[in-house]
Amino acid sequence: MLPDLNISKVPIVALGAAVKATFSVTYHGNLFLSQYLGDLSDFDTQQRYHWLLQRTLRQFSVQPSVVVGDLHPNYFTTAFGRNLAEELNIPFTQIQHHEAHFAAILAERKLFDSPKPILGVIWDGTGYGSDGQIWGGEFFSYQSGKGIHRVGQLPYFPFLLGDKMVREPRLSALSFCKQFATSELEILSQKFSPTEWEWYLKLLASQQAIWTSSVGRLFDAVASLLGFADSVTYEGEAALMLETAARRYLRKNPTLDEGFFSRMNNQQTPFSLAWFGLLVEAVKEQVPADQLAALFHISLVEMVAAVAIEGGFEEIAFSGGVFQNALLLELLQKHLLPRKFKLYFHQALSSNDENIAFGQLFHHTILKVN
């Protein structure tokens, strides 16, 4: 349940994202958020999405004043939204994917009126950035009256071959090592045939057109490096293996509380991935994979703490598919609550792209309009 939300009385349709499709509609001060509708790359899903949206508009007698969609130029919802807006002769506006995630947690936890600055940690697999690159490791700030601003990100690394990289964590490992531990590339050679290895090295040596800051791909890279998964059969499989291994180690070693990030002392900025080289060194030294998985999770928590401290934030809100990782949430609370940070997680909404339509609606209503 989402009671007492400040819902716009202006009728709005927000179309959501692509892979975990939902839409939302406001009417007479009420809000309708659809059920999970699936992957909109599938034609049958597109048809079902279209039918249900039209039925919802008829059922509630909604004549929308604006259509809101994602910034990605190739999403089904982008073309659909333009066509719907043209058909109804109303504006079509686009919201950056991760800003919509941040707006979703701000709205759900009623933080839009917060006088204090809030750090938004928005981590997922992919989302189209305002610079045309693939975002996924984002830090935003929000304060009432000042709007949302991107304050930092995971450093960019090459986004290799689009969806093939998503299906093959070994490519994420290759990309990360090339970018942050170049001298250690050879430890990955056994994951590829000689022909593949030669071809991928040439690809990495060429000028890269697309870069990403995705924490989802960072999880994939580490899962491959530790030997858990070089290819996957479903979304999040490699990250789940990594979480399971880390939990297994921490169950036996609950006092572990320092990761790779803190070992770098002052040798890096809060947004740096210089600590990734320490992880690669530990792999070469044959430190147990379960232990490294745990150290990796703690390192991410240390990064969040460092960003918050440097920016002077006392309150932190989290959204994006990465925060479906229950262990990561537990570690954030274990390490940050004693340091007097106030943490906000989704309660009624999923942290993944199912909340994008909800976030788009409130981003447009509270930030764009006001």
Each residue of 214-269: pLDDT tens digit? 999 999 999 999 999 999 999 999 999 999 999 999 999 999 999 999 888 766 78
CATH number for the domain formed by residue range(s) 157-344: 3.30.420.40
Closest listed residue to residue 248, CA positions, set 288, 286, 294 = 294
Cα(45)–Cα(326) distance, integer angstroms? 29
The encoded tokens of residue 190 equal 């056994």
Closest listed residue to residue 320, CA positions, set 162, 153, 174, 170 = 153
Residues 313-359 have pLDDT tens digits of: 999 999 999 999 999 999 999 999 999 999 999 999 999 999 999 99
The encoded tokens of residue 92 equal 């079509």
The encoded tokens of residue 166 equal 């998503």
Q: What is the largest CA-CA distance in the chain?
A: 65
**pLDDT on residue 168:** 98
Cα(233)–Cα(46) distance, integer angstroms? 23
The encoded tokens of residue 41 equal 């790359």
Q: How many Cβ atoms are within 10 Å of 269's Cβ, its own excluded?
A: 12
CATH class of segment(s) 12-98+351-369? alpha beta
Residue 312, sorted as left (phi over 0), alpha (psi -120 to 50) or beta, turns out to be left
**pLDDT on residue 4:** 61
Does residue 6 surpass a pLDDT of 70? no
Whether 157-344 and 12-98+351-369 are alike in CATH topology: the answer is yes
Closest listed residue to residue 121, CA positions, set 157, 158, 151 = 151
Per-chain mean pLDDT for the chain? 94
Using CB atoms within 10 A of its CB, is residue 167 exposed (0-12), middle (13-18) or buried (19+)? Answer: middle
Closest listed residue to residue 315, CA positions, set 152, 169, 162, 119 = 119
Q: Taking the C-alpha atoms of 256, 330, 139 and 310 in order, what is their torsion angle to the nearest 10 degrees?
A: -50
pLDDT-based confidence at 184, cuts 50/70/90? confident
- Give CA separation, 209 vs 60, 65, 203, in Å: 45, 37, 11
**pLDDT on residue 68:** 98
Cα(188)–Cα(176) distance, integer angstroms? 11
Tell the residue number behind the tokens 């999405």, with chain if given: 49
**pLDDT on residue 1:** 45
Cα(78)–Cα(81) distance, integer angstroms? 5
pLDDT-based confidence at 209, cuts 50/70/90? confident
- Residue 128 has phi, psi (to 5 degrees) of -70, 125
Q: Where are the domains of the chain?
A: 12-98+351-369, 157-344
Cα(294)–Cα(259) distance, integer angstroms? 8
The encoded tokens of residue 120 equal 């938004």
**pLDDT on residue 183:** 78
